[in-house]
Amino acid sequence: MVDHVLFDEFIQERSIPFAPGNVLVLYTDGITEVTNESGKEFSSHRLLDVVRRARDQLAIEIGDAVFDAASRFAGGRARQDDQTLIVVKRTG
């Protein structure tokens, strides 16, 4: 591990409200850079659209919706990059 002193000048701790029903999505570019047959990228805009449509579902279902949409967009073509997705949803 690198000494934390190297990162201290770049990292800031922030707190933001995370109310019941809020969703946090962390993802790698392997999802947003999925391409279709014409070479067009799935994009963060499409990812956001999928999350918005699925926001009333469980976190795992939101994640499944994202992977399904990206796969359909790619037309079943093989993945060119790793895809990592973390969905956190506050309930109650």
DSSP string, 13-73: -------TT-EEEEE-HHHHT-B-TTS-B-HHHHHHHHHHHHTTS-HHHHHHHHHHHHHHH
Domain coverage including residue 46 = 19-89
**1 lies in some domain:** no
Q: For residue 8, what is the enclosing H or E element?
A: helix 5-8
The predicted-structure confidence for 7-59, as pLDDT tens digits, reads as follows: 788 888 899 999 999 999 999 999 999 999 999 999 999 999 999 999 999 99
pLDDT at 1: 61
Residue 77 confidence class, pLDDT cut points 50, 70, 90: confident
pLDDT at 10: 82
**28 lies in some domain:** yes
**7 lies in some domain:** no
pLDDT at 85: 98
Residues near 90 by beta carbon (within 8 Å), at least 6 away in sequence:
18, 19, 20, 21, 22, 23
pTM given for the model: 0.83
pLDDT surpassing 70 at residue 2: no
Which phi and psi (to 5°) does residue 8 adopt? -55, -35
**75 lies in some domain:** yes
Number of domains within the chain: 1
User: Average pLDDT, stretch 76-88?
Assistant: 89
